[in-house]
């Protein structure tokens, strides 16, 4: 059976894997239970330093609080992560940086970003500044409480690009990974988004779905899965969406825990290594995206954020961020990066070589 929803976060369970240091020890074969895994360092396989080509997207993780606690979550988000929430002051610093550096897209993620009390302020402030907003919405948040029920209209008013996870078009497979009742609420939320104009090819109301595998294997073809999801969702539920992004599960946080406890860690890492595809190096998302944590620290991507691998600059914080220094930095890579280069590649926008 595949990866199954957790009842608590690693953090609240005081699990060893809640520590980024321990996760990195495991990934580098220095710690039980997976010592000495014989795959070369990622940087050796890459054969080059990974350098940015600019900051086109500022991805802001505004908090780890979430109404769900999905099995594969690399953020270790959940209902008990109440305290890690970005303040309005830090959001303002992000916005100032984006405006100063003509960044055209702010990609808001979490947790469930809508649970941050300053979420709507941030969206409206971005739009007033002419910045496009992506929101990574887990769908069920819309149905979780009446105070979130108007989110589809709010998104439409602000022309927010919605990207939402839906692991499968069947209830069993979705609920297994994301929790009981998630599938039904996701479909109900998708219907509300469709009613608000989302998912019909209008560039102002983009609704994309994310598929990630439900176990220790690479995703199938994005093109094929998109066709299958579109046909099944329209036929079974009358639901439309624009594109499907396939994302590889990276061995970080709760997915790393699943790999270790299920005995799949070694074979999965070997699979990622064997599927290493150098043509994905050019399109790695860390080369054009900068990631900001809830407390304002800077990272090369959301995965590095969860491993506490800060960007390689003197003061990696949004309050002192310097675009030129960031442009000249070397991106921090480690063994989890094999997840981004395997097969067709993986990024927050799906396959790299699609």
Identify whether the C-beta of residue 216 lies closer than 8 Å to the C-beta of residue 266: no
Q: Does 111 bind ligand SF4 (CB under 6 A)?
A: yes
Member of 144, 164, 194, 304 binding ligand SF4 (CB under 6 A): 304
Member of 61, 138, 214, 311 binding ligand SF4 (CB under 6 A): 138
Identify whether the C-beta of residue 330 lies closer than 8 Å to the C-beta of residue 240: no
Residue nearer to ligand SF4 on the CB measure, 127 or 310? 310
Nearest CA to 342 out of 266, 257, 284 is that of 284
Member of 213, 233, 303, 326 binding ligand SF4 (CB under 6 A): 303
Q: Does 336 bind ligand SF4 (CB under 6 A)?
A: yes
Smallest gap from Cβ 73 to ligand SF4, in A, equals 3
The CA-to-CA distance between both ends of the chain, in Å, stands at 29
From the list 25-33, 51-59, 109-117, 316-324, the region that binds ligand SF4 by CB under 6 A is 109-117
Which single residue is written with the structure tokens 């908090």? Answer: 63
By rule CB under 6 A, what count of residues binds ligand SF4? Answer: 24
For residue 33, is the peptide bond before it cis, meaning its omega torsion is within 30 degrees of 0?
yes
Sheet of strand 207-211, all strands in order from the earlier edge strand to the far edge: 244-246, 207-211, 161-165, 132-136, 105-109, 57-61, 289-292, 298-299
- Footprint (CB under 6 A) of ligand SF4, residues 46-75: 66, 68-70, 73, 75
Residue nearer to ligand SF4 on the CB measure, 80 or 325? 80
Per-residue 3-state assignment (H helix, E strand, C coil) for 10-39: CCCCCCHHHCHHHHHHHHCCCCCCCCCCCC
Q: Does 162 bind ligand SF4 (CB under 6 A)?
A: no
Applying CB under 6 A, the residues found at the interface with ligand SF4 are 66, 68-70, 73, 75, 77-78, 110-112, 138, 284-286, 300-301, 303-304, 331, 333, 336-337, 340
């Amino acid at each position: 059976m595949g990866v199954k929803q957790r009842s608590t976060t690693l953090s609240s369970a005081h699990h060893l894997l809640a520590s980024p240091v321990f996760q990195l020890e495991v990934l580098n074969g220095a710690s039980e239970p997976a010592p000495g895994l014989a795959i070369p360092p990622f940087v050796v396989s890459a054969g080059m330093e990974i350098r940015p080509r600019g900051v086109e997207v500022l991805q802001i993780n505004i908090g780890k609080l979430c109404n769900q606690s999905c099995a594969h979550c690399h953020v270790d988000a959940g209902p008990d992560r109440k305290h890690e929430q970005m303040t309005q002051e830090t959001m303002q610093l992000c916005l100032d940086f984006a405006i100063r550096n003509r960044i055209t897209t702010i990609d808001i993620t979490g947790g469930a970003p809508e649970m941050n009390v300053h979420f709507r302020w941030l969206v409206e402030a971005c739009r007033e500044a002419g910045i496009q907003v992506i929101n990574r919405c887990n769908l069920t948040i819309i149905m979780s409480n009446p105070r979130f029920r108007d989110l589809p209209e709010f998104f439409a008013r602000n022309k927010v690009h919605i990207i939402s996870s839906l692991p499968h078009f069947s209830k069993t497979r979705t609920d297994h990974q994301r929790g009981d009742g998630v599938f039904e609420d996701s479909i109900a939320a998708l219907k509300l988004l469709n009613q608000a104009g989302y998912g019909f090819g209008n560039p102002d109301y983009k609704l994309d779905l994310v598929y990630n595998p439900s176990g220790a294997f690479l995703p199938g073809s994005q093109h094929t899965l998109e066709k299958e999801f579109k046909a099944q969702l329209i036929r079974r539920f009358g639901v439309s969406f624009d594109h499907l992004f396939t994302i590889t599960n990276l061995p970080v946080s709760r997915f790393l825990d699943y790999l270790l406890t299920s005995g799949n860690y070694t074979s999965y890492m070997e699979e990622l290594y064997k599927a290493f595809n150098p043509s994905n190096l050019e399109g790695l998302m860390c080369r054009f995206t900068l990631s900001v944590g809830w407390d304002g620290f800077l990272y090369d991507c959301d995965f590095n954020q969860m491993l506490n691998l800060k960007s390689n600059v003197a003061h990696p914080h949004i309050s002192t961020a310097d675009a030129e220094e960031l442009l000249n930095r070397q991106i921090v890579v480690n063994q989890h990066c094999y997840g981004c280069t395997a097969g067709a590649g993986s990024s927050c926008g799906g396959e790299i070589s699609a």
